[in-house]
Amino acid sequence: MSDPSTRQRIDTPRISRWRLTPQFDVEAAGRFGESFARFLGTGRYLAIQTVFVIVWIALNLFAVKLQWDPYPFILLNLAFSTQAAYAAPLILLAQNRQENRDRVALEEDRRRAEQTKADTEFLARELAALRLAVGEVATRDYLRHELEDLRDMLIELVPPKGKKKSKQAPPPVDAETTEPAEIVADSNS
């Protein structure tokens, strides 16, 4: 018997292997159209076409036995019309593809601009917060001024060496918070 994993289910229709319409690679056709349209816009194409037209007209005017398109050059006109009929849609196809690429690039640029703007706004908020925080921090000048004030107060409290100390009683010693060695050192002085 056949393997159940290779069997198809009865309720699922089979996919046909044959297709009635030919399948085209849209991207390949688009790339070909762009390359052809790019070639039509080059100086090389203009030079080739000019040489071709000059040779065509010269052969049809001066080579009597080789005349396949007499003077009004209707066949040459038909060739140009056919070429224009194919060139115009190919050029439009190339323009549409370029427009799609430009649209995608524009959307990407807008997304990047929005992200950059959001990042810039975030950094601006962070910078403002840092400025506020730094404003609350003591500056060097402030600390210097405070230290000078403390020094001046200490100088006022400590009498100069030439003056005698006043006979004031030393401050009372709290036995609970003072270490025994400190009490002994105070009593010896």
Query: pLDDT tens digits for 30-69?
Result: 888 888 888 888 999 999 999 999 999 998 888 878 888 8
The whole model's pTM is what?
A: 0.49
Give just the sign of the alpha carbon dihedral 151, 156, 158, 163: positive
pLDDT in tens, 59-90: 888 887 888 888 889 999 999 999 999 889 98
- The helix (run of H) or strand (run of E) holding residue 92 is helix 74-136
Crossing angle of helices 74-136 and 43-62, rounded to 10°: 170
Q: Please, what is the average pLDDT of the chain? A: 82
> The tokens of 125 are what?
């908020």
> The tokens of 96 are what?
């549409």
Contact 183, 173 (CB under 8 A): yes
CB-based contacts of 61, cutoff 8 Å, min separation 6:
71
Mean pLDDT, residues 93-101 taken together: 92
